[in-house]
Structure 1
Amino acid sequence: MGPAYGHGDARQHDFLRLVAAWNTGAMRRRHLLALTPAAALAACTDSGQDPAADGTSDSGGSSDHGGSDGGSSDGGAEPTADPTTEPEPTAAELLLDELSPREIAGQLVLVGIPAGTEIPAEVWTDHHAAGIFLLQVWKDPAAVESVVSSAHDGVAPLIAVDQEGGQVRMLRGDAARRTPSAETLGADSTDSGRAVTDAYTSIGEDLAALGIHVDLAPVADVVDPELGDANEPVGGLGRGFGTEPEHVGECVRAAVEALTAQGVAATLKHFPGLGRVEQNTDFSAEGIEDTVTGPDDPFLDSFTAGIDAGAQLVMMSSAIYPELEPGVPAMFSSVVITDLLRDQLGYDGLVVTDDIGAAEAVASVPVADRATRLLEAGGDLVLTADASLTGQLVDAVEDWAGQSTAQEERVRESALRVLSLKQDLGLLDG
C-alpha cells in the first residue's frame, strides 16, 4: 500500500510536486542547451521520459530507496516508474547529421593513389572522398608519410593499402618489412597459426607506424585443389592460405586478430571467394565464373572465421556465381551481399568493392552504375584505382540519393558505416 495523507499534508505535497516539476523542467532545458542541435532534437523527441531526471544505476534499476510498493522511505513521494531513455548518439551519428548531401556521398568513395604521385586537390575539396588507398610499390617511408599527412578538407580520411605479403606488398624497401606469402605461411607444417600471427603483427606494426588505418587483407579465398596455380587471381600468385576451408579459416582468424591488436582494420577478400575461377578479374571479363559456390558451401567457412574474429571490412568479388545469382557480379548482387553475407552470415560491417575503376571485369558497366548498383545490393564503399573517376562516382551517389527518401536513407546507412569505422579507429576524436 502507498502512504496516507491528511488535508494539510496533501496541500504541502501538491506544492512540493509543483516545485519538483519546475526544477525538472529547468534541468531539462539546461541539458538541451548543452547538446548539439541534433542531440537536442533527439532528446526532445524521445518517448516522453526525462533524461535529466534519470537516476538509474548501471543495471537499469532506480536509485530510489523506497519500499517494494514504490513509495519513498519518508512517505513523502509518489511511486515513479523507472525512466527509459534513448542511447546517446555516437560521434559518427552526430557527424553524419552535420554533413551535406555531397559530403555524405563522398564518404562512399575510396580513391587509389599511385606511387610517386600526389592526391588531386579536388578529391577532398570538391568530392569529399572517404579516403585513399596506395597503389603500386612505395619504398620510401617519407613519401608515404607525405601523402598520408597531406592536407584534406573536412572529415579525417581513411588510409588503406594492399599489404598481404609475398608478391602483393605495396609497401617495400624501407617502408615496410618483407613478409612471406599466404601460401608460404599456410604451408608451415609446424605451426601455421603462429607464423601467420607473426607476419601480420609485423604488417600491422609497419602500417600503424606510417599512419595507415586499413589493410586490404587477408585473402580468405580457399583455392580449389584441382585448379591450384591455374587459379590465377589467388593460387597462381601464392595469395591463398591453402585448399582446406578449416585450415584457411584458422589462418584468416590469426591474421585478423594480429592486425586488430595493432589498431589496423582487417579486410576479408574476395567474398564469396575467388578460389574457383581461372582468370583474374583485374585483367579479364572471361573465365571469371564460379559454377560451384552456393549458400551452404564449405568454402564460405573461412570468411565466417574472419567475421567471428572481428574483421571490420569485407571486400566483394567481381566474379559471377550462378548458384547464387546468375549473370551478376557478386559486388552488385543483393543475393550475395544482403541475403548471404549480411543475413545468413550475420555480418553488419563495411562492405567494399574490389577495384571498379580500372578492372576489366566491370569495364562494360557505366561508371555511375558501378556505385549505385553496389548500394542497391546492400554494399557501402566503392574503390577506384582511377582517381579521375572520383567526381563521376560521387555525382552518381548524390543524384541517386536525391531520387527518393528510401535511397537517401540507404546512402546514409552506408555513410554511417564508414564514419563508424573511422570512429572505431580514433579518426573522429576531437
Structure 2
Amino acid sequence: MLAVIAVAGCTAAGPAPAPTSTSPPTATTSQQTSVPTESPTPSTTIPTSAPAPTTAAPKPTGPGGCAAAIVTRMSPDERAGQLLMVGLGSDAGSRSLDTLVASRHLGGVILLGGWTSGVDAVRATTRHLAGLASPANTAGLGLLLAADQEGGQVQQLRGPGFSRMPSALVQGQSSPGALTASARTWARELAAAGVNVNLAPVADTVPSELGRANGPIGHYDRQYSSDPDRVATMSAAFAAGMRAGGMATTAKHFPGLGRIIENTDVSATGITDRTTTTTDPYLRPFARAVRDGTELVMVGSAIYSRIDPGTNAVFSRAIVTDLLRRQLGYRGVVISDDLGAAKSVEEVPVGQRATRFITAGGDIVLTARPSDIPVMHEALTARMATDRAFANQVAAAVTRVVALKLRMGLAHCP
C-alpha cells in the first residue's frame, strides 16, 4: 500500500514525496543450502526493453535448472540481498543507494512518489542504478527497477514522455482490447524510462455498497469494477498490454483489500476483512492473473479473520503458501506490500518482518525505508545460519527471483 503515504508500490494513492534514509554496512555468512531444481515460474515471456546490466540471454537449459545453478554459487549474503527491494524517493539523489546496493547485494529498487519531471529524469536515475549491477555488487544479476504506475491518483511517474493515465475505475469502462492497446503504450513509456517492473494492475474488488468508504482502493478509484469477473477481465487486459510493451506485471493486493475500511499504510485498525474466504469470488481476478502468467503477485498486510485470524496476510502461511501457491497454483515471485513505513506492521520488529514474510512463502521483501535494509538483511542471514529449513526456504525464494530475472534478460546461465 505504499502509494498512499506517498511511498509507492502497493495500496494508496498520490504522488507525494516519500521518506528517505541512509544505510549502514556489515553482514553475516552461513552454510550453503539445497536449491530446488524445478522451474518455479510460469511459462510466459517478458519482452525486454528495460536496461539489462551486463547480462546475456539465458542458455536453453530451462529457467529452473539455470536459476538453481546460479543460486548454488551465491553466498548467503548475496541470497539475502536478492530478496530485498528498497524505495528511492525522487528527492533522494540517484547515488543515495549506491553503498546499500553494493554492501547488501540488493535485488531491486522501487521509485517512490514525486517523479514529475518526465522520462529523461527517470531514465538518468535508472541508468545509474542499472549500472550498479556487477558480480561483486549483485552476484552478477541485474536490478528489478519498479514503479507504481496504475493510473489516476496512483501514477508515480509523470511529466514529459509519460501519458496521463486515467484511474482504474475509468479504465474499466473501456473495452478489454482498447485497454490492452493503451497499456502497451504506457508500458513502452516505462521501458523508455528504464523501468522493468510495474507494480500493477490492481486486482482488488470493492463492493459497490462500500465504494469510496474503502480506504486503500475505493477511496482512490483504484478498482476496475465492483464485479470480480469484470475486474478479472480488465486487470488481465491491462497486464497483457503491459507485458506486450516490455513490463513485468504485478497482481495486487492478494487476497484483496476491497472489503476493509482503513488503509494499511496509515492505520493498524480497521484493516480486518471479516468476509473473504478461501473460496471467495473476489479471488477470481487473482486466479486469472495466475493463469495468465503474472510475473509477480503482491500480498497485502490486511487481516482475514475467516482465513487466518489475527495475522497480517504478508505473515500468513495459510494465505501465501496454502491459498496462493497451493490452491491457486502460483509458482512465480511473491512480493510484499510495504513492510517499512506501513502502520499495519509497525508493531513487528523490522528484522522479523523480513523473516516472517519468507517463512510464510514470500520472495521479495519491499520496504520504503532504506534504513530498514541492513536490519532485514542481517535478520535473514542470521536466521539462515541457524535454521536449515529457513535457509532452504531462502534458496527456493531466490531461485524464483533469479528465474524471473533470467526471463527478463537480467541474468545469464553460468
Q: TM-score range by the shorter chain?
A: 0.7 to 0.9
Further displaced range: 302-311 or 148-157: 148-157
Q: How big is the shift at 1:186? A: 1.1
* 1:307 partner SS: helix
One-letter amino acid matched to 1:94: A
Q: 1:239 — aligned with what?
A: 222
Give the one of 96, 113, 116 matched to 1:136: 113
Asked whether the 8 Å contact 1:91–1:428 carries over to 2, the reply is no
Task: Output the CA distance in 2 between the equivalents of 1:246 and 1:159.
Answer: 31
Give the one of 159, 166, 177 matched to 2:163: 177
One-letter amino acid matched to 1:142: D
Q: 1:52 — aligned with what?
A: none
Asked whether the 8 Å contact 1:213–1:265 carries over to 2, the reply is yes
* 2:298 partner SS: strand
One-letter amino acid matched to 1:306: A
Question: What is the TM-score with the length of structure 2 in the denominator?
Answer: 0.80
Q: 1:89 to 1:161 in 2, by over 3 A?
A: closer
Q: 2:85 — aligned with what?
A: 110
Q: 1:424 — aligned with what?
A: 407
Matches within 5 A, 1:310-321: 310-321=293-304
CA-based RMSD? 1.8
Q: How big is the shift at 1:89? A: 6.9
Q: What are the Cα deviations for residues 262-292 of structure 1, in whole angstroms up to 9, with x where unaligned?
A: 2211100000000000111101111101000
Larger Rg belongs to: 1
* 1:248 partner SS: helix
Task: Output the CA distance in 1 between the equivalents of 2:169 and 2:124.
Answer: 33
Give the one of 383, 387, 397 matched to 1:404: 387
Which has the larger share of helix?
A: 1
One-letter amino acid matched to 2:82: Q
Asked whether the 8 Å contact 1:290–1:319 carries over to 2, the reply is yes
Q: Return the structure number with greater relative CO, CA threshold 8 A, min gap 6.
A: 2
Task: Output the CA distance in 2 between the equivalents of 1:401 and 1:110.
Answer: 19
One-letter amino acid matched to 2:123: E
* 1:159 partner SS: strand
Q: What are the Cα deviations for residues 173-230 of structure 1, in whole angstroms up to 9, with x where unaligned?
A: 1141111110001133xx2x12321331122111111221110000000011110010
Q: What are the Cα deviations for residues 123-171 of structure 1, in whole angstroms up to 9, with x where unaligned?
A: 2221111110000121232321222121412321110000001110111
Q: How big is the shift at 1:261? A: 1.2
One-letter amino acid matched to 1:291: R
Task: Output the CA distance in 2 between the equivalents of 1:298 and 1:179.
Answer: 28
Q: How big is the shift at 1:310? A: 1.4
Q: What are the Cα deviations for residues 333-371 of structure 1, in whole angstroms up to 9, with x where unaligned?
A: 000011110110000111111001101111111001100
Give the one of 164, 167, 170 matched to 2:150: 164
Q: Which runs of 5+ in 2 are unaligned?
A: 1-31, 36-60
Does 1:346 find its partner at 2:321? Answer: no
Q: 1:74 — aligned with what?
A: none
Task: Output the CA distance in 2 between the equivalents of 1:406 and 1:210.
Answer: 40
Q: How big is the shift at 1:88? A: 9.4
Q: 1:278 to 1:88 in 2, by over 3 A?
A: closer
Task: Output the CA distance in 1 between the equivalents of 2:63 and 2:407.
Answer: 16
Asked whether the 8 Å contact 2:111–2:147 carries over to 1, the reply is yes
Q: 2:104 — aligned with what?
A: 127
Q: 1:409 to 1:113 in 2, by over 3 A?
A: same
Question: What is the TM-score with the length of structure 1 in the denominator?
Answer: 0.77
Count of paired positions: 344
* 2:272 partner SS: coil
One-letter amino acid matched to 1:174: P
Does 1:205 find its partner at 2:180? Answer: no
Task: Output the CA distance in 2 between the equivalents of 1:334 and 1:158.
Answer: 25
